[in-house]
Homo-oligomer: A and B are copies of this chain.
Amino acid sequence: MDEFSLIRRWFAELTPPGEGIALGIGDDCALLVPPPGAQLAISTDTLIAGRHFPQETTAADIGWKSLAVSLSDLAAMGAQPFAFTLALSLPAVDEPWLAGFADGLRECARTAGIALVGGDTTRGPLSITITVLGHLPPETALRRDAARSGDLICVSGTLGDAALALRFWQDGRAPASAHERMLRARLDRPTPRNAAGVASRGLAHAAIDLSDGLLGDLGHICQASGVGAELAIGELPASPAFAALAPTDARLGLQIAGGDDYELCLCVPPAQLEAVRKAYGALPLTVIGRIVEVPGIRLRDAAGAIVTSPAQAYRHFS
């Protein structure tokens, strides 16, 4: 396998000589020109078949999702996508697979306006490592450690769709209805919220993307910020597909402990809520709780009573 021809042939279109790219793939390094005075956000993620996506996932969906999950990390910092590198390990040179993977990756890259600037291809079990770079003005990053007591906890979009789709997949239930196909698309083609992340700078105090599930990810914010959280379980936003198809006894678990949503979870001071909503345009932003001083995460029903512990909710799910 000639790694260079592989990378060049399949991924050449992903490296347009564009704004900010002084030199693309082909030299010892690529050369990037960040905006004057910008800070850089950087993140690396490895995706493994069977762990981060079902073995049967199509090549195009793997291509899309590999980049989307890293773009989601940039969104959670409020960074503008800039450039990425790809390290691809493949059992063999499978041309149809590579064509599909490149298609999905390219589609996601174009949507986000991010350029491929380096890579390596090796033989081995399927694994994809992507390093993304974004840029943002100094001191504007949405960090995990900046949540304050009194902040509203908000999430973009809806929760639980991908986890429900994964459950159906694991049950051998192929997507037949429009609702089922929508759920599956949420699992296979998550939409990183980059525009929302950028728009949240200067308005939200803290943010994280929901990759591992709301409880765990919000827990990271609480731990880093030294605060706690109260969630109103009646307020968790659900898609029509989720509302129609999620088993009643699994809803809460799927929404608070299911992963792969790739929505943003933001801690917003109340005075800024309308500004964030306005900046998000058509993307729904739902207030689901409040940051409090007391550590830990508590779940409350519509009447304000603590209805169940996160551990109980999680047991429902697992």
Whether a CB of chain B sits under 8 angstroms from the CB of A33 is: yes
The reply to whether B85 and A42 form a contact with Cβ atoms under 8 Å apart is: yes
The reply to whether B23 and A118 form a contact with Cβ atoms under 8 Å apart is: no
Oligomeric state, in copies:
2
Spot the interface stretch: A69-77, A165-173, A247-255.
A69-77
From A118, which residue of chain B is reached at the shortest CB distance?
B44
C-alpha spacing A32/B39, complex, angstroms: 6
Contact with B along A131-154 (1 / 0, CB 8 A): 111100010010111000000000
Within 8 A of B (CB), among A9-30: 22-23, 26-30
What size tier do the contact residues of chain A reach?
35 or more
The reply to whether B34 and A30 form a contact with Cβ atoms under 8 Å apart is: no
Nearest chain B CB to A166's CB is how many angstroms away?
19
From A88, which residue of chain B is reached at the shortest CB distance?
B46
The reply to whether A209 and B28 form a contact with Cβ atoms under 8 Å apart is: yes
Most buried by B among A86, A121, A129: A129
27 contacts between A and B (CB under 8 A): A26-B144, A26-B224, A27-B145, A28-B74, A28-B207, A29-B134, A29-B141, A30-B41, A30-B42, A31-B40, A33-B40, A33-B138, A36-B36, A42-B85, A42-B117, A42-B118, A43-B85, A43-B118, A44-B120, A46-B121, A48-B122, A48-B123, A87-B87, A87-B129, A118-B131, A125-B125, A127-B127
Using CB atoms and an 8 Å cutoff, list the residues of chain A in contact with chain B: 22-23, 26-34, 36-46, 48, 51, 73-74, 76-77, 79, 83, 85-87, 89, 117-125, 127, 129, 131-134, 138, 141, 143-145, 207-209, 224
